[in-house]
Amino acid sequence: MKIAYVSTYLPQRCGIATYTNYLIQGLQQVDPETEIRVIAEQGASPIKQKRFEVLPCWDRNEDYVKAILQHTKDVDIVHIQHEYSIYKFDERLPSVLAKLNASVKKIITAHCVRPSQFSERGAVDENFTKKIAKLADKVIVHLESQERILNRLGIPPQKIYLIPHGTELSQAQKQKSRERFGLPSEGKILLMFGFVKRHKCMHVVVQALGQILERMPEVYLFVAGGLAPTASKQEKDYIEAVKKKIKELKLEKNIIFPNRFFPNEDVPYLFGASDAVLFPYYEEDRSASGSFHLALGAKKPVIASRIPKFEELKNVCDELLILPYNSSGIAKLVLRLFEDPEFETYVLRRTEEFRQKTSWQAVAKKHLELYQRRGRIP
């Protein structure tokens, strides 16, 4: 079997590139005989190995149809990793799907499914998702909420496959991880990870930290990230407002915010250094979170907003989901985790079960079953 992935790929700083890399590694472990080709966007590094190659050949800002199609003629499966910002909303991607050889199985992973009422473009996102889903033979989604939207759009249930986002298992030692970043060796560390943006609600965690410190003075917030390279003025102003709030609440000694990008090789140690990871986001996109799965993969308790993005957390412990902007809820939950060993043990046991069930090898096996399944949906 020969599979061609159409995707961004490393070393591009792109969540889809990282996702595709993890999936391929999982497939290579569960089925070393599978031949894999990545038809990658320009910016990926070319690779030529036995049964694995990366061909950077297209650009999202150009007419990429011909460039992609010319590398699909000798494959059994074309699997497109779709995200709106990569492929835009014009006729290029539908043309790729329509012009693929009839013998090729066409699969799309819809990483984000955005309902019309929450899109700045109105029905454009929803209609585009419907269009490419109809042209595909199979559509993979990560969340139940995504599956329900596709059902509403008229995509046949037998065409939709719910496969969770994969989880990279890691177990970096805590003290060595803290030494790597010069973090406090004693006390508890709460981690926020990734680019700092308003919808990730760092200000809510700052407010919560003030409440936590009233009872547990040796708790620290480590914000492992900074502004994105494309940060807007509003996002820059947001950072300054948060810094001002930190000073007002006199939390400077308990907040570690280097405001910089951390490379992939640091990621296991960032999670390894922490005692709990916070995702107090507020957004309406239906898309799974890679960072969320990295935290669970490091077997760390996760506290997240009760929004579609983190709906999987109910499979660990529904009590770890809090309402958006609920700083007191975050504080109470952090204190419960740190002061109630029985509760923490329960959460860690459930986290271990979830991370094993969604490991990249387990997810790769589900993909392989789909690839090998016979029959096509008209």
Residue 200, both tokens: 């990730």
123: DSSP letter: T
pLDDT, tens only, 97-115: 999 999 999 999 999 999 9
Residue 285: the pLDDT is: 86
Quick check: is 378 in a domain? Answer: no
Angle between helices 327-339 and 341-357 (to 10 degrees): 100
Q: Are residues 55 and 200 in the same domain?
A: no
Residue 141: the pLDDT is: 98
Quick check: is 198 in a domain? Answer: yes
Q: Are residues 80 and 151 in the same domain?
A: yes
Q: Are residues 105 and 49 in the same domain?
A: yes
Average the pLDDT over 237-243 and give the result: 95
Average the pLDDT over 323-332 and give the result: 98
Q: Are residues 65 and 130 in the same domain?
A: yes
Average the pLDDT over 214-236 and give the result: 93
Q: Are residues 136 and 178 in the same domain?
A: no
Q: Are residues 23 and 99 in the same domain?
A: yes
Q: Are residues 190 and 332 in the same domain?
A: yes
Find, among 3, 8, 300, 350, the residue nearest to 168 by Cα: 300
Residue 375: the pLDDT is: 53
**CATH number, residue 72:** 3.40.50.2000
* C-alpha separations of 124 from 45, 127, 134, 373 in Å: 33, 5, 15, 32
Per the listing, tokens 């990279």 go with 168
Those residues with Cβ within 8 angstroms of residue 150's Cβ, 6 or more apart along the chain or in another chain: 110, 113, 129, 133, 139, 141, 160
pLDDT, tens only, 16-73: 999 999 999 999 999 999 999 999 999 999 999 999 999 999 999 999 999 999 999 9
Burial of 295: CB neighbours in 10 Å, binned 0-12, 13-18, 19+? buried
What is the reported pTM?
0.93
Residue 377: the pLDDT is: 41
Distance CA 141, CA 210 (A): 39
pLDDT band at 264 (very low <50, low <70, confident <90, very high): confident
Q: Are residues 194 and 340 in the same domain?
A: yes
Q: Are residues 86 and 129 in the same domain?
A: yes
Q: Are residues 316 and 194 in the same domain?
A: yes
Can you give the residue range of the structural domain that contains 34? 2-166+360-372
Residue 113: the pLDDT is: 95
Q: Are residues 129 and 263 in the same domain?
A: no
Burial of 122: CB neighbours in 10 Å, binned 0-12, 13-18, 19+? exposed
Q: Are residues 18 and 158 in the same domain?
A: yes
Radius of gyration of the chain (CA): 22
pLDDT at 243 over 60: yes
Find, among 180, 359, 347, the residue nearest to 277 by Cα: 347
Quick check: is 73 in a domain? Answer: yes
pLDDT, tens only, 87-96: 999 999 999 9
Quick check: is 318 in a domain? Answer: yes
The Cβ-side half-sphere exposure at 78, using a 13 Å CA radius, reads 26
Quick check: is 194 in a domain? Answer: yes
Residue 378: the pLDDT is: 38
Query: What is the number of domains present in the chain?
Result: 2
Quick check: is 377 in a domain? Answer: no
Quick check: is 265 in a domain? Answer: yes
Quick check: is 273 in a domain? Answer: yes
17-21, 263-267, 296-300, 360-364: which range is least confident on average?
A: 263-267
